[in-house]
Structure 1
Amino acid sequence: MTTTLTDYLTALSAPENLSAVSGIKRGIEREALRVVKEGRLSDMPHRQNLGSALTHPFITTDYSETLLEFITPVEADAETTLAQLKDIQRYTYEHIEGELLWPLSMPCFVDDDDKIPLAQYGSSNIGKMKTVYRQGLKNRYGSMMQVIAGIHFNFSFSESFWKTIQQIDGDTRDLQTFISERYFALIRNYKRLCWMIPYLYGSSPVICGSFLQNKPQQLPFKRSENGYLYLEYATSLRMSDLGYTNSAQSSLNICYNDLDSYVTGVKEAISLVSDEFENIGVKVDGQYRQLNGNVLQIENELYAPIRPKRVANSGEKPSEALKERGVEYIEVRALDVNPFSDTGISLQQVRFLDVFLTYCALAPSAAMTAELQKRYEHNMDEVVLRGRDPELRLNDDNQCKSLVEWGTELFTEFEQVAQLLDTAYHSEHYTQATSIELEKVKNSSLTPSAKIIALVVEQNVKFAELALELAEQYRNEQLSIDYQNFSYEQLTNAAVKSHEDQKAIEQADELDFDSFLANYFAH
């Protein structure tokens, strides 16, 4: 017999189970472009005194030298996580010579995407591989798509939480097998309800015209008086086809019903040859253009709004880590950078994400067919492009519902989960955060995307100037406060050690790069 949401909430509310509920752990990965005060991308390389982008635990780069990525360690306290992120950003501000961190997901004005420098990771084989992978992304999709910034939210429950759920279910299997299965159940529910995330938090309904670089696209953009392109009801153009997409991936149908099926699907995708990408060439005139001509060069190229994760050992592929040791946590990837928060994500968002993901873990989760997956993706696409359109209708299990109707139904259950979390954490934060998000469902003008449209279209604000003002404000505010969790010395020591670690990796290489790649893909 299937355990219902009410059953779980009742059992978990027992005093002896509340400590298991309060064991949530989180980590945040925040991407941010370095820009100069005129709003252009910085042309300076990654600063030496920020540490090695290859090995620093907290400060690295993503696609480009100018696209920083800040990574917080795993923590059980949400306020500590955001304090750590502020410390990392403060340290960065102190070492980038007056440059700013762009507070939006969509990039600032870029006149030529060929001028966007690829991230460099040193002379080691693994460092070269990371850069060649990015060269492949550039040749496949163009650089502009790759400098879109986002927030990745890493989330896990405690082992005692899963043991309690297993006891409630009367399940007697190996615990890790059970945990992996339940994380995939969470993922399926997340994919079913993923449209909620861009609706509540999408902050990219407007783009600079330079982003398109005169490339063909089918979206019915309007132009503001100040020349910005927008869709009236859009929530997150970052999550649309303008963002990081791979049309060849649409036919992959990665299965999220269980760990084995998922890993098998990912491995098949990595070995599936693409005629389009093969035509680019791999190594031409002695220079690598990409790692291979497959649909995916490596697993990281698989686009997904959520991923099952396991910390991998050195040299271990993500799917191998999952296969060997099971799911450890999940990574939510559908979050725009919040321009109204100095860290790109607010404490209120974190608390509601706790509620949302706990709901996804406890609500019934049916197996997902290819047809269902397409239905979920269609709902997501609709909300991304016209989530605030009062005429929008979504497909909830073949029932046609307005976003307000479906959202209000869901929040009735979210509120119950919030009450459980508040009881476990001895707070009122979760019910307060949930109430604030419910008001956005009832009134779309409260969403960040609506606020941005109001500024750019109705108030005729120059969006780039507003972004620069926010970036300057956040820089000044963060430099004016003391370090809260890390210290300047700790972060300096981490930078020094990262250079030592990179050097050790480079000195340990025994194979030439061609042999290293051949060996990597042979496995």
Structure 2
Amino acid sequence: MTADNTCFDARVKALKSPEFLASLKDIKRGVEREALRINPNGTLAQTPHPKPLGSALTHESITTDFSESLLEFITPPEASSAKTVAQLQDIHRFVADNIEEEQIWPLSMPCFIDDETEIPIAYFGESNVGKMKRVYRIGLKNRYGSMMQAIAGVHFNFSLPESFWALWAKQNGTTHSQDQTSAEYFGLIRNYRRLCWLIPYLYGASPALCSSFLKGKEYSLPFKKVGKGTLYMPYATSLRMSDLGYTSAEQSSLKICYNELDNYVRLLREAMSTPSTRFERFASGEGGNYQQLNHNIIQIENELYSPIRPKQPTESMEKPTDALVRRGISYIEVRALDVNPFSAIGISDSQFDFLDVFLLSCLLMPSDALDEQQLNEAKENMDRVVLEGRNPELMLTENGNPVSLPQWSEKLFAYFGQAATLLDEANNTKQYTRAVSDEYAKIQNPALTPSGKMLQSLLDGDKDNSIFGLELAQKYSNEMKGFDYTFTDSAEFVKQGESSFDAQREIEASDEKDFDTFITDYFAEPQAKKNA
């Protein structure tokens, strides 16, 4: 038995105590699901954010991301994944009923878009904070192009309760504190980075894309063609997570450290204050012209593209790094999930359960510090899986040694089985063990993966991505309108929408600075220091 196994087994044994099991029942998770609004013919909707959906600036559960056409649905942290699913269904039902003949695109990669100029940038009103959000998006458009920003994903938020961290500290012979909790979250994050190649393998659902996405771009990938204009790679899992998708070459030089909170914050702040020669050609307020917020490698923290982020809710106009320094890590945000095209709400019940297992396992496994070589290894593994994940000859690298994806997965699923048993016992269910079993079936048969099933559907019918997506959009539109409201009904959503417009008007009326001063003050505000 290896030292790793011994440590993992000892931690699993400790978590079988009644106190630990009780704390595991209070794991909380939430979801942010992105989705483009489309016309009945499958093209991108050009209409403004629908008024019945409320203010994109202030609504708690319905907003927009980069584009006016890119909806984002947000659920609060809940200890019941079934409640989160029901909340998502409530939101989808209300939206489907209030976007007239428009529909929700069910894929991560965009629908047919003839020209990037057709992608309307989100508008958040005339307050300073609303203008700042829009200028940030204008900066993204100028830096990376609008097409990349039209990609949709699902973010999974996960947190362990305070009661768990107190027991965990006692078990490990340390003093319970926010600093210690943050350090343990970083241990989880490091193991996630090592193993997150598994996420696009299991849940990647973008093996193909509309050729309009690549219009005017240089690429060297050996695409094949299906239908009239769809490009695919035979073994790809998630082109969304490839260099074609939601990544940034400008950030490739950043070596963000996930070993300590202090270093993570320091390096992120350096990226926010280091001028970029590539982006200096875009105005950032000179003569009142805003083509971006600033000339730096990243404008604000949110621009960092990462498959996972440590998070702390921010207060009004507080920078995310300042929130982390002041109050530590509150939860983690998993950002490597494609929209699930086989679910009307973009994510399935079993995904919730497996992600709980996966993230708990990442905490229970030993987690040494990551050096640059290991970070590069993790990135290379991710790159290989997103492009070749279902290739039976694919080899990954584990601690410098070649290993096949099935071989490595077999070891990991032995850990996942133990973590699933813990969560089953804590919640008096078998759903976690079932979820692990369902995911392991995908390891044994790549055709069962979402990318495998989706690509087979395209090839069997010589079908374009656009037709596949439109058929699902129409099906799900009817399905959503048949959802029963569970926690928030139509009348309550209408009330929330009206309140959100009131809140937006209040923010706009309270502005006392001109926009130039507002932006200068925001970036000039002293950075929070530890224990500030």
TM-score normalized by structure 2?
A: 0.96
Out of 507, 512, 523, the position equivalent to 2:509 is 507
Aligned to 2:74: 71
Counterpart residue type for residue 384 of structure 2: E
Q: Which amino acid aligns with 1:138?
A: K
What SS class does the counterpart of residue 277 from structure 1 fall into?
Answer: coil
Residue 397 of structure 1, CA deviation: 1.0
Which residue identity does 1:424 align to in structure 2? A
Once the two structures are overlaid, the 10-residue window that deviates more, 138-147 or 275-284, is 275-284
1:332 is matched with: 334
Q: How does 1:439-518 map to 2 (within 5 A)?
A: 439-518=441-520
Residue 145 of structure 2 corresponds to 142
Deviant stretches of 4+, over 3 Å:
283-286
Which residue, out of 18, 38, 42, partners 2:41? Answer: 38
**Offset of residue 284 of structure 1:** 5.7
Equivalent residue, structure 2, for 1:232: 234
CA contact (8 A) 2:109 2:152 kept: yes
Q: Deviations over 1:471-513 (max 9, x none)?
A: 1111111212320121212211111111111111111111000
Distance 2:101 2:248 in 1: 36
Q: Show the counterpart of 1:412.
A: 414
Deviation of 1:285 after TM superposition, in Å, equals 6.0
Specify the alignment match of 2:161 in structure 1.
158
Query: Letter of the aligned partner of 1:463 in structure 2?
Result: N
With over 3 angstroms needed to count, the CA separation of the structure-2 counterparts of 1:229 and 1:54, relative to structure 1, is same
* Separation in 2, partners of 1:268, 1:286: 26
Moved more, 232-241 or 92-101: 92-101
> How far apart, CA to CA, are the structure 2 residues paired with 1:107 and 1:325?
37
Determine helix, strand or coil for the equivalent of 2:406.
helix
Instruction: Give the partner amino acid of 1:418.
Output: A
The correspondence for 2:194, drawn from 189, 192, 203, is 192
SS of 1:278's equivalent in the other structure is: coil
Partner of 1:58: 61
Alpha-carbon distance between aligned partners in 1 of 2:288 and 2:408, rounded to the nearest angstrom: 56
- In the alignment, which residue of structure 1 is the partner of 2:530? none
Distance change (3 Å), C-alpha of 1:178 and 1:285: closer
8 Å CA contact retained: 2:22, 2:426:
yes
1:433 partner letter: A
Structure 1 counterpart of 2:132, from 109, 129, 133 = 129
The residue that corresponds to 1:208 in the other structure is: 210
Aligned 8 A contact 2:93 2:482 in 1: no
| Matched residue, 1:373 | 375
- Given residue 23 of structure 2, which amino acid in structure 1 is its aligned partner? A
User: Residue 170 of structure 2 is aligned with which of 167, 170, 179?
Assistant: 167
Counterpart amino acid of residue 430 in structure 1:
Y
In the alignment, residue 437 of structure 1 is paired with which amino acid? E
Instruction: Say if 1:290 and 1:251 are closer, same or farther in 2 by CA, change over 3 A.
Output: same
Q: How far does residue 463 in structure 1 lie from its aligned partner after superposition?
A: 2.9
Alpha-carbon distance between aligned partners in 1 of 2:439 and 2:512, rounded to the nearest angstrom: 54
1:105-163: per-residue Cα shift (whole Å, max 9, x none)? 00000001112110000010000000001101111111000010000000001111111
Aligned partner of 1:15 in structure 2 is: 18
* Other structure's SS at 2:278 match: helix
Q: Secondary structure at the match of 1:76?
A: coil
| Residue aligning to 2:528 | none
Cα deviation for residue 94 of structure 1 reads: 1.4
Alignment of 1:398-409 (within 5 A): 398-409=400-411
- Offset at residue 283 of structure 1 (A): 3.5
Gaps of 5+ in 2: 526-532
1: distance between equivalents of 2:42 and 2:480? 20
CA drift of 1:225 comes to 4.0
CA distance in 1, matches of 2:464, 2:262: 50
Q: CA deviation at 1:13?
A: 0.7
Q: C-alpha deviations, 1:386-423, integer Å up to 9, x for none?
A: 00111110011122110011011110111011011101
Please name the residue that 1:87 is paired with.
Answer: 90
Q: Quick check: 1:180 aligned with 2:173?
A: no
The aligned amino acid for 1:389 is N
Which amino acid in the other structure matches residue 366 of structure 1?
D
Instruction: Say which of 111, 131, 143 aligns to 1:108.
Output: 111
Q: After superposition, what is the alpha-carbon deviation per residue over 1:162-217, rounded to whole angstroms, capped at 9, x for unaligned?
A: 11111110112x42111100000000000000000000000000000101113111
Query: Could you tell me which of 274, 277, 297 is aligned with 1:275?
Result: 277
Per-residue deviation, 1:459: 3.4
- Which residue, out of 255, 268, 271, partners 1:266? 268
Q: Deviations over 1:209-258 (max 9, x none)?
A: 10111311121111114331001100000000111222121111011001
TM-score under structure 1 length normalisation: 0.98
Shift of 1:314: 0.5
Change in Cα spacing, 1:225 to 1:482, as seen in structure 2 (3 Å) is: closer
Please tell me whether the aligned partners of residues 203 and 449 of structure 2 are also in contact (alpha carbons under 8 angstroms).
yes
Deviation at residue 67 of structure 1 after TM alignment: 0.2
Is the Cα contact below 8 Å between 2:458 and 2:468 reproduced in 1? Answer: no
Deviations 1:264-292 (A, max 9, x none): 11111100110010022323664311111
Q: Deviations over 1:17-40 (max 9, x none)?
A: 210122110100000000011000
Inter-partner Cα distance in structure 1 for 2:402 and 2:353: 30
2:48 maps to amino acid: P
Counterpart in 2 of 1:363?
365
Tell me what 2:27 maps to.
24
Distance 2:460 2:416 in 1: 34
Instruction: Give the equivalent residue in structure 2 for 1:99.
Output: 102
Q: Is the 8 A contact 2:159 2:331 kept in 1?
A: yes
What code does the residue aligned with 1:94 have? D
